[in-house]
Amino acid sequence: MRSFNKIGLLVSAALLVVSSTAFGAGFGLFEQGAKATAMGGAFAATADDPSAIFYNVAGIAQQHRMTVIAGGTGINFSNQFTGDPTDAFTSGATGHYVRHTFVPPNFYAVIPIGTNLTAGIGVFTPFGLRTNWQDPWIGRFVSRDANIKTISVEPAIAWQTSDGRLAIGAGAEYRRARVVLARNSTLPPGTVNVNPFAVRFIDVASAYLSSDWDHAWGWNAGVLFKPSPTWRIGASYRAPMDINFTGDVTITQISTGNAQLDALIKPGLPPSQPVTTTINFPSIANIGIATTAIPNWDLEFDVVHTGWSRFQQLKVDFLTTPAAGFTRVQNWKNVNSYRFGANHPVNAAWDVRFGLLYDKTPQPTVNVSPLLPDSDREGASFGVGWHNGPWIVDATEFALHFKTRGTMGISSADNNFNGTYRTDANLVSLNLGYRF
């Protein structure tokens, strides 16, 4: 009973510390445990700690002691937008995100039931996005701030054969999410193009869209197979999910400094009103192969396939004045990331770990924008594990480089914002665990 109370407390704490990051291929977050992150996320065929609930749920079947781990990943960005020197709007412009450390939390517990069955519960943050541009930001007509927060709770169960060679598992994922979007509006095309008194471009309004916390249910399943004492194969699938959001948009007129002009603009602004939108979250399928053929080394290679082609658009419907609604075409593609990880026990208490990854972007060049400037990523990680008696500590440093991404002068008509995005991220993951 005492243990379950502790778990309940940790779950509550994790739910309060909700993540918000601009990170993971597209806005996926694959850093849901310090050990797996240290191995570059190549963990489907290892899955030997409670974070298996995220990486390959079948893996909890091989864990025969009740274990609780909790932690998070601190993410810091260093980014810069540089305008296209051939573009008469963005030339010479720069911008970057507001400095902020994002800490997506995680919590997992596994509870063996008999010898072949293990139950577990996980709390993690499979998706997240925050692109909050520092003012003054000339891309504010496309996006000033975009924030997608998620938090998932997943009860899971897994079973393995008595010889331990085959395990299967499944879980039900309850995902809560919220969306915040903010941008400014200028004069609509086709009427008055500028403030005619000063012949200057003007911001006429800000739009702040904030959804409620809405939710959906999904599922995932995994399998882990050990064909020989030194080889393991793991595969996992997390189902796609659509979350329908309701919320409100607040439209605030920005004074042009001229009362007459403000009075002319005012009737043309849509009122603050209820809105709806839907985010189509992708499926995630990963398959990994691992070996201990080299003594004292555990090596794994994974391919993670994310079904981002479901993310075709971000469409916001305005319920009072439908004409004011907008659609941002995304047209993302399904992509693979390639992950390699190594775990090397140094002695009974210490492990050292390394990882490498290459993560393809799902985003077409034409749709790269301040809302979410994605790109291919290359990452390298290093971590240590310490275990002494019931205690487990995993710590990881992970450097992620986003390849320089330019719009090549073909930014889509609804953005028309050309330039180059440079991004690097540094992640520090820490998990504390207790084995009962």
Partner 1 sequence: MTRIGSFARIASVALAIAVMAAPGFAATGTANFKTLVAVGDSYGAGFESNSLNVHHSIYSWPAILARQVGLSICTVGSSATDNCFAQPIVSFPGIGPELQLMDISTYPPVITNAAGSGAPLNTTFGRPFNNVAIPGANVADTFTVTGTDATPARGVQQLAKFILRGPVTEVDAVLLQKPTFIAIWIGGNDFLGSATNGTVAGLTSVADFTTAYNLMLDKLSVSGAGMVVGTLPSNPAAVPFFNTVPTVLINPATRTPVLGPTGQPITLVGQVDGTPPVGQLLKGSFVTLPAGSLIGQGFGIPSALKPILDPTNKLPFFGTPLPDSVILTPAEQATLTQRISDYNAVIVAAAAKRNIPVADIKGLFDRFAAGISVGPFRLTSDYITGGIFSLDGVHLSDIGYTLFANEYIKAINSGYGTHIPVASVSAFMQNNDPATKMASGAAAYPGMMWILSDEASKGLLQMFSATITAPPATRRHVVH
CA separation (Å) from 297 to 11, 22, 290, 344, 422? 34, 33, 10, 5, 36
Residue 256 binds partner 1 (CB under 8 A): yes
Restricted to residues 102-141, the positions that interact with partner 1 (CB under 8 A) are: 136, 138, 141
Rounded Cα distance between 94 and 111, Å, is 52
Query: Which CB, 257 or 271, lies closer to partner 1?
Result: 257
Helix (H) or strand (E) holding 382: strand 377-388
Q: How far is the CB of 85 from partner 1 (least distance, A)?
A: 4
Q: Please pick, from the candidates 43, 318, 340, 417, the single residue that binds partner 1 as defined by CB under 8 A.
A: 417
Query: Which CB, 94 or 230, lies closer to partner 1?
Result: 94
Q: What does DSSP assign to residue 50?
A: T
Q: Kindly indicate which of the ranges 252-260, 295-303, 329-337, 382-390 contains the residues binding partner 1, using the contact rule CB under 8 A.
A: 252-260
Q: Tokens 């075409």 appear where?
A: 329
Residue 409 binds partner 1 (CB under 8 A): no
Q: How far is the CB of 193 from partner 1 (least distance, A)?
A: 4
For strands 298-306 and 313-318, give the pairing.
Answer: unpaired
Query: Which CB, 138 or 316, lies closer to partner 1?
Result: 138
Contact present, 202 and 242 (Cβ < 8 Å): no
Q: How far is the CB of 400 from partner 1 (least distance, A)?
A: 20
Residue 327 binds partner 1 (CB under 8 A): no
Rounded Cα distance between 287 and 55, Å, is 10
Q: How far is the CB of 251 from partner 1 (least distance, A)?
A: 17
Number of chain positions touching partner 1 (CB under 8 A): 40
Question: Which phi and psi angles does 148 have, rounded to 5°?
Answer: -115, 120
Q: Please pick, from the candidates 114, 190, 229, 389, the single residue that binds partner 1 as defined by CB under 8 A.
A: 190
Structural tokens at position 302: 């994974």
Q: How far is the CB of 369 from partner 1 (least distance, A)?
A: 12
Q: Please pick, from the candidates 3, 193, 250, 252, the single residue that binds partner 1 as defined by CB under 8 A.
A: 193
Q: Please pick, from the candidates 114, 229, 267, 389, the single residue that binds partner 1 as defined by CB under 8 A.
A: 267
User: How many CB atoms sit inside 10 A of residue 219's CB?
Assistant: 15
Contact present, 132 and 145 (Cβ < 8 Å): yes
Residue 90 binds partner 1 (CB under 8 A): yes
Residue 366 binds partner 1 (CB under 8 A): no
Q: How far is the CB of 260 from partner 1 (least distance, A)?
A: 4
Burial class from Cβ neighbours inside 10 Å (0-12, 13-18, 19+) for residue 169 reads buried
Query: Which CB, 172 or 192, lies closer to partner 1?
Result: 192
Q: Please pick, from the candidates 254, 289, 303, 393, the single residue that binds partner 1 as defined by CB under 8 A.
A: 254
Contact present, 147 and 132 (Cβ < 8 Å): yes
Q: How far is the CB of 191 from partner 1 (least distance, A)?
A: 5
Q: Please pick, from the candidates 1, 162, 189, 323, the single residue that binds partner 1 as defined by CB under 8 A.
A: 189
Residue 348 binds partner 1 (CB under 8 A): no
Cα 299 to the center of its chain, rounded Å: 26
Query: 136 preceded by cis ω (within 30°)?
Result: yes
Contact present, 39 and 408 (Cβ < 8 Å): no
User: How many CB atoms sit inside 10 A of residue 310's CB?
Assistant: 17
Q: Tokens 């849901």 appear where?
A: 32
Structural tokens at position 407: 């719009």
Q: How far is the CB of 283 from partner 1 (least distance, A)?
A: 35
Residues in the site for partner 1, rule: CB under 8 A? 83, 85-93, 136, 138, 141-142, 186, 189-203, 254, 256-257, 260-261, 263-264, 267, 416-417
